[in-house]
A and B are shown apart, each in its own frame.
Chain A
């Protein structure tokens, strides 16, 4: 029942936050409450670009990316931290953007699938892709593609963490990303391939 509710959760927030004009910029002051009906000014570096934004406190990072900034590469699957489709890198660390309030990430560097290629050393590789993206293409590591942006960000984040080395460890470390097409075998192949590439660890690059 909950799974169904989660899967069919509406992808459009009823409070679409366009345009994000800086009309009523309210800066956050430590210890001072921001009333519930006020938007607050935050700054984020998203895919290398500095952004000054106004957000309602209840806006998730996922909704900010998709609804306000039109960065729709990041997907809303369950919206409850169970499927991993919304995975992005925050300060180089993979997290579920659906469970992060944007206001709490004030000052952070965010990398979405749109910015992944820019992380690899010396810019994008062949076809303007991050090595992980190229490996996903090479290994046919997706079918419908809906989970793919999350799989990509998660696998890059996982490699930054550096704890998974074997196939079993990759599978365990990637268990927060669900693929309903069942492309798991090829996803692990792609990740293994990138890991095996000479010096790949340095080239993948964190967000900073």
Chain B
């Protein structure tokens, strides 16, 4: 681990100020991703700004929904009674990820800001445009089992590893941030970005900006939902493909459809045209298959992950079927019904 200055921020203003003019400054909260990256020398911050003492650890009622402070831990968010009853899709997605220990430390803001688990990003002996802009991408043509099938570029084929963010994308959360230029709101769909020719940037935060909260909208999607996560182990593994599905039904007819995929792109992957295809249609397997086919039609797999295309297609159908039936994927019994 490299040597760094340490600043303990007592207020948000202090945190923002501590960032200014400090080369390589980074905010740290749970540290579950950043400390790991520092141990591998993937990240070498010149200054760590400890934000754990900022007053951002509460979940509060907000505009008919909930405002989740950036420092709320993954565990506290997933087990909050209001979240469990009103946003069970979010609770399930969080509990599908990481381990008990990690969820106790990892925070909401940190989950949004976590980096990819691409092997080549972690391996400082190989080129990586995300770690070292302009150095190239060793993943392309390499071991690509875990990589993107949607929205990748010639510079980067990494995926965003979060489960929580897939649910937040489906729920259309809003990210509240502040920074040197003041406060702003970012729609969840606009928070993470595709790699393009600048994969070093995972998201649209500007330098020195800090996440204050994630706002969950009032919309009730608590009845017909599922978080279906497919991975190489039954627990404590990143998704090969995951599906966050939420429906609002009027009888057998789909009124609202939300569909987001994890493990397949540089950001939680939503396809609004596919969602539109579902609306007004009967909630049947045929309807879901048509939407799934539409989503995977634009998949562009790498040399070793073509299996993800079919896996995603089937996972979408299964996820939408689970949501429609009101039988969300169990967190403990991993059999896929």
Contact = CB atoms under 8 A, between A and B. Distances in A.
Interface of A: 1-2, 28, 30-37, 40, 57-58, 60, 79-81, 84, 87, 93-96, 98-101, 103-104, 154, 157-158, 161, 163, 166, 168-169, 171-177
25 contacts: A2-B119, A28-B8, A30-B8, A33-B6, A33-B18, A36-B5, A57-B5, A58-B2, A58-B38, A81-B32, A95-B101, A95-B104, A96-B101, A99-B102, A99-B105, A100-B35, A101-B35, A103-B6, A104-B52, A154-B100, A154-B101, A158-B100, A175-B235, A176-B98, A176-B236
Contacts of B17: 31
- 8 tightest CB-CB pairs across the interface, nearest first? A176-B99, A30-B10, A175-B235, A57-B6, A31-B14, A36-B3, A175-B236, A168-B332
Interface string B298-337: 0000000000000000000000000000000001110000
Contacts of A94: 100-101, 104
A43 B76 CA distance: 26
A80 B4 contact: no
A31 B18 contact: yes
Interface residues of B, number: 45
Given A1-B119, A30-B9, A176-B236, 16 more contacts: A2-B123, A30-B11, A36-B5, A60-B35, A79-B39, A81-B102, A94-B101, A96-B101, A101-B28, A103-B6, A104-B31, A157-B100, A171-B235, A172-B332, A173-B100, A175-B236
Nearest to B103: A176
Interface of B: 1-11, 14, 17-18, 22, 28, 31-32, 35-36, 38-40, 47-48, 50, 52-53, 75, 79, 98-102, 104-105, 119, 122-123, 235-236, 331-333
B31 A101 contact: yes
Contacts of A35: 5
A58 B1 contact: yes
B7 A34 contact: yes
A173 B119 CA distance: 26
Contacts of A99: 31-32, 35-36, 102, 105
Given A30-B14, A57-B48, A81 B101 contact: yes
Contact of A33 (B1, B5, B11, B28): B5
B277 to A, nearest CB: 35
Contacts of B8: 28, 30-31
Nearest to A103: B6
B235 A172 contact: yes
Nearest to A80: B36
Given A2-B122, A37-B3, A81-B32, A176 B48 contact: no
Contacts of A98: 35
Nearest to B73: A93
Given A1-B123, A2-B119, A33 B47 contact: yes
